[in-house]
């Protein structure tokens, strides 16, 4: 069963500006163009939103609603720097990610959580890590499909987590405005409203003839499925890998060093096999340690020559594991092994030479 999450950074551009200039935190802040020209609001902080200011509104209208608002020009280079820090942090906890924008994306929690109760704990760990690393807050929606997660992530902003357990998707969506359903544009929304369909539940309940009369073609069935919480889309991952890794979660937390080493060497064999199959080798070996409280520690080292052999990777990774446990002793919930700094060749061993 899929366990997905949608992560959305809270008022991202404005939050970065507040971090760079803390004096702005208590003021209505608008990131956007010239309020005396034809500028448009990129985003606004939560103080400004109490005046009804929102994204895509003209800057002139924002100024009319709040004459005391502070306007700043967007600084996209700065925002990208913060965004990279956020996603680097998130990927240490959840390695399978689809970034859909500078401030949002989907996470495959099924890789690190066995059920929805554990998924909530992972989502909380993501929030904690993002805040600790960047001082930014984010909201997450957790569910079985992209459409449910996307809508859920907006329910408890800022800094909230909304979990929609399996089987409750349609009930969660039903009372919400139909305009919140991804894919319902202004024209479709108008057609539905004229027919008295104001909620997602109303769209979900339409019969085939009713649906084809209102939304002809393939769009109608697609939107009705989404209104029922049915959305089979998987994550769309980016191109070439920058690392090859493997990890596993223990049924119970493990502190026995011999068992941990054995697991690390098993994972090193998987990594080596994937490297061989891809014709790759790498110079940087990383060991990943997750403790019972979901906190993450990683230890890495860069070698003089690229490796792809299981024994070599295992030797280095075990040493890194020991180093991590010296820095923070404790039982581990998960261990992982990764190789990065990839190149399309490998070192020959003495036997092969």
Using CA atoms, how far apart are residues 243 and 239, in angstroms rounded to an integer?
12
Q: Is residue 312 part of a domain?
A: yes
CATH of the domain at 281: 3.30.1490.100
Q: Is residue 54 part of a domain?
A: yes
Domain boundary among 24, 48, 76: 76
What confidence category does residue 240 fall into, taking pLDDT thresholds of 50, 70 and 90?
low
* 343 touches 282 (CB < 8 A): yes
Q: Give yes or no for residue 285 having a pLDDT over 90.
A: yes
221 and 298 in a common domain:
no
Tokens 């089987």, located at residue: 167
First to last CA, the chain: 48
314 and 255 in a common domain:
yes
Range of the domain at 202: 170-227
* 12 touches 105 (CB < 8 A): no
Q: Is residue 31 part of a domain?
A: yes
41 and 16 in a common domain:
yes
Domain count, the chain: 3
Q: For residue 345, what pLDDT is reported?
A: 53
Q: Is residue 32 part of a domain?
A: yes
CB neighbourhood size of 138 (10 A): 26
Using CA atoms, how far apart are residues 325 and 331, in angstroms rounded to an integer?
9
Domain boundary among 57, 76, 95: 76
Q: Is residue 154 part of a domain?
A: no
* 163 touches 119 (CB < 8 A): yes
Q: For residue 260, what pLDDT is reported?
A: 96
Lowest pLDDT segment from 33-37, 59-63, 98-102, 232-236:
33-37
* 147 touches 229 (CB < 8 A): yes
* Residue 2: Cβ-neighbour burial (10 angstroms; 0-12, 13-18, 19+): middle
222 and 275 in a common domain:
no
What confidence category does residue 241 fall into, taking pLDDT thresholds of 50, 70 and 90?
low
Q: What percent of the chain has pLDDT over 70?
A: 96
Tokens read off for 200 = 């997602």
CATH of the domain at 70: 3.40.1170.60
Q: Give yes or no for residue 350 having a pLDDT over 60.
A: no
213 and 285 in a common domain:
no
Over residues 296-342, the pLDDT tens digits come to 888 999 998 899 999 999 999 999 999 999 999 999 999 999 998 88
* Residue 15: Cβ-neighbour burial (10 angstroms; 0-12, 13-18, 19+): buried
312 and 268 in a common domain:
yes
* 97 touches 5 (CB < 8 A): no
- What Å distances lie between residue 9 and 101, 135, 154, 223, 226, CA to CA? 10, 11, 10, 26, 24
Domain boundary among 181, 200, 227: 227
Q: Give yes or no for residue 243 having a pLDDT over 50.
A: yes
Kindly tell me the sign of the dihedral angle through the C-alpha atoms of 177, 179, 183, 188.
positive
Q: For residue 137, what pLDDT is reported?
A: 97
- Geometric angle at alpha carbon 213, from 212 and 215, rounded to 5°: 60
199 and 247 in a common domain:
no
- Name the catalytic one among 17, 18, 92, 104: 104
316 and 254 in a common domain:
yes
Q: Is residue 325 part of a domain?
A: yes
* 299 touches 287 (CB < 8 A): yes
CATH of the domain at 187: 1.10.150.20
* 95 touches 110 (CB < 8 A): no
Lowest pLDDT segment from 21-25, 184-188, 202-206, 284-288:
184-188
| 70-91 exposure pattern, b = at least 16 Cβ within 10 A, e = fewer | bbbeeeeeebeebbeebbebbe
Kindly tell me the sign of the dihedral angle through the C-alpha atoms of 15, 16, 18, 19.
positive
329 and 292 in a common domain:
yes
* 69 touches 45 (CB < 8 A): no
> Would residue 104 show up in a list of annotated catalytic residues for this protein?
yes
Q: Is residue 69 part of a domain?
A: yes
Over residues 82-103, the pLDDT tens digits come to 998 999 899 889 988 999 888 9
Using CA atoms, how far apart are residues 336 and 286, in angstroms rounded to an integer?
8
Q: For residue 293, what pLDDT is reported?
A: 82
SS3 91: helix
Question: Phi and psi for 207 in degrees, rounded to 5?
Answer: -75, 170
Over residues 139-151, the pLDDT tens digits come to 999 999 999 999 9
293 and 202 in a common domain:
no
Q: Give yes or no for residue 349 having a pLDDT over 80.
A: no
Q: Is residue 1 part of a domain?
A: no
Tokens read off for 332 = 């581990």
């Amino acid at each position: 069963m899929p366990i997905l999450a949608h992560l959305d950074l809270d008022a991202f551009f404005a939050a970065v500006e507040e971090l760079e200039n803390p004096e702005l935190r208590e003021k209505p802040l608008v990131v956007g163009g010239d309020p005396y020209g034809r500028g448009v609001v990129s985003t606004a902080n939560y103080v400004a939103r109490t005046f009804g200011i929102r994204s895509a509104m003209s800057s002139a209208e924002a100024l009319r609603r709040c004459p005391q608002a502070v306007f700043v020009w967007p600084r996209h280079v700065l925002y990208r720097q913060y965004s990279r820090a956020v996603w680097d942090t998130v990927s240490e906890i959840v390695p399978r990610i689809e970034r859909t924008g500078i401030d949002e994306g989907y996470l495959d929690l099924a890789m690190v959580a066995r059920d929805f109760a554990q998924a909530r704990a992972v989502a909380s760990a993501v929030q904690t890590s993002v805040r600790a690393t960047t001082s930014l807050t984010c909201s997450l929606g957790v569910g079985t499909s992209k459409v449910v997660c996307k809508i859920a992530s907006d329910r408890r902003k800022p800094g909230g987590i909304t979990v929609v357990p399996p089987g409750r998707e349609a009930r969660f969506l039903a009372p919400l405005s139909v305009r919140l359903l991804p894919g319902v544009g202004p024209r479709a929304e108008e057609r539905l409203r004229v027919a008295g369909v104001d909620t997602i539940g109303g769209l979900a309940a339409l019969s085939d003839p009713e649906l084809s009369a209102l939304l002809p073609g393939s769009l109608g069935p697609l939107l009705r499925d989404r209104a029922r919480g049915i959305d089979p889309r998987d994550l769309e991952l980016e191109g070439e890998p920058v690392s090859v890794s493997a990890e596993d979660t223990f049924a119970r937390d493990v502190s026995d060093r011999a068992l941990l080493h054995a697991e690390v060497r098993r994972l090193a064999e998987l990594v080596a096999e994937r490297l061989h199959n891809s014709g790759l080798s790498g110079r940087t070996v990383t060991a990943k340690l997750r403790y019972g409280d979901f906190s993450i520690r990683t230890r890495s080292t860069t070698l003089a020559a690229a490796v792809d052999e299981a024994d070599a990777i295992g030797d280095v990774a075990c040493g890194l594991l020991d180093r991590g446990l010296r820095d923070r002793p404790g039982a581990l919930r998960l261990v992982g092994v990764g190789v990065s700094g990839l190149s399309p060749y490998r070192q020959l061993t003495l036997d092969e030479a």
